[in-house]
Structure 1
Amino acid sequence: MSEIEDEAFKLIQSNPKGILQSELWKLLNIDSRKCSRIVKKLTDADQIERIDHKSDGVKTYLLKAKKRAIEPELLLAGGDLLPCIGCEEECSVQDCPLLMDWMYQLAIEEFSEDTS
């Protein structure tokens, strides 16, 4: 993905309700034709969806990032699931002993993989 495509995708992702294509090209400081090509690439790569939209009587498109499924292995360390999933404790990330233990296990796994 090019730098401008990456920037466009991040802008779209940062707006959960979506962003109008007519606004995107202005935010990126590019012309509408170049924006259309970027949107097409992101749509073809299945990273965003493009929805017909009328804004002040003018046809445009609402762009929304598609949600990706999380890879389960990213939530595991030492066979243990990330403790924050389903946690009901009211703690801060910096002070959570369960999370610190999980992260320690993750570091051990990465170290073991690097040395083998």
Structure 2
Amino acid sequence: MEIEETALEVIAKHENGVFQNQLWKELNIDSRKCSRVIAKLLKDGLITRESAVDNGARTFLLKAAHKEEPCFELLLSGDMFSPCAGCRDACQPESCEKLTAWVLNLSKDNVDDQEASIIE
């Protein structure tokens, strides 16, 4: 495992972040090597860094960057994609047949999920 991967794992396991001066001690590397590792992780967008003070010493607080992935599941109802996504119709939601069918399918999905959990 490369040192960058190890460093990223250590940073990620600290939910509130880890100080850079603690990281190089935890990784058992010198501060210069740690700075190069941090620079690469920053360049790749895998971590964030903000100025901080730890025991009176200036350092940086490092946190794992949380990349938001598209969540298309929220637009799905069974195998139906939300009819409103990209819709150009100037309809009223209360009278849209496509939206009504999609919402009813959502309700059906919830009932199916509840029945499945009762059977188990």
TM above 0.5, yes or no, is yes
- In the alignment, the residues of structure 1 paired with residue 7 and residue 79 of structure 2 have an alpha-carbon distance, to the nearest angstrom, of 37
Give the structure 2 partner of residue 14 of structure 1.
13
- In the alignment, the residues of structure 1 paired with residue 68 and residue 27 of structure 2 have an alpha-carbon distance, to the nearest angstrom, of 28
Paired residue type of 1:5:
E
Give the SS at the match of 1:60. strand
Aligned residues between the structures = 81
- Counting only pairs closer than 5 Å after superposition, residues 8-47 of structure 1 correspond to structure 2 as 8-47=7-46
Give the SS at the match of 1:46. coil
TM-score (norm 1): 0.60
Give the structure with higher Rg (CA): 2
- Counting only pairs closer than 5 Å after superposition, residues 95-106 of structure 1 correspond to structure 2 as none
Query: Percent identity at matched positions?
Result: 41
Give the structure 1 partner of residue 47 of structure 2.
48
Give the structure 2 partner of residue 60 of structure 1.
59
Q: Which runs of 4+ in 1 moved over 6 A?
A: 73-76
Query: Displacement, 1:56?
Result: 1.6
Give per-residue Cα distances to partners, 1:61-113, cap 9 Å, x unaligned.
0000111113447999x849xxxxxx9xxxxxxxxx57xxxxxxxxxxxxxxx
Paired residue type of 1:58:
A
Structure 1 spans left out of the alignment, 5+ residues: 81-86, 88-96, 99-116
Query: Displacement, 1:40?
Result: 0.5
Give per-residue Cα distances to partners, 1:37-60, cap 9 Å, x unaligned.
000000111111111001121100
What CA RMSD, in Å, does the superposition of the two structures yield over aligned residues? 2.5
- In the alignment, the residues of structure 1 paired with residue 60 and residue 17 of structure 2 have an alpha-carbon distance, to the nearest angstrom, of 10
Paired residue type of 1:28:
L
Paired residue type of 1:48:
I
- In the alignment, the residues of structure 2 paired with residue 8 and residue 73 of structure 1 have an alpha-carbon distance, to the nearest angstrom, of 31
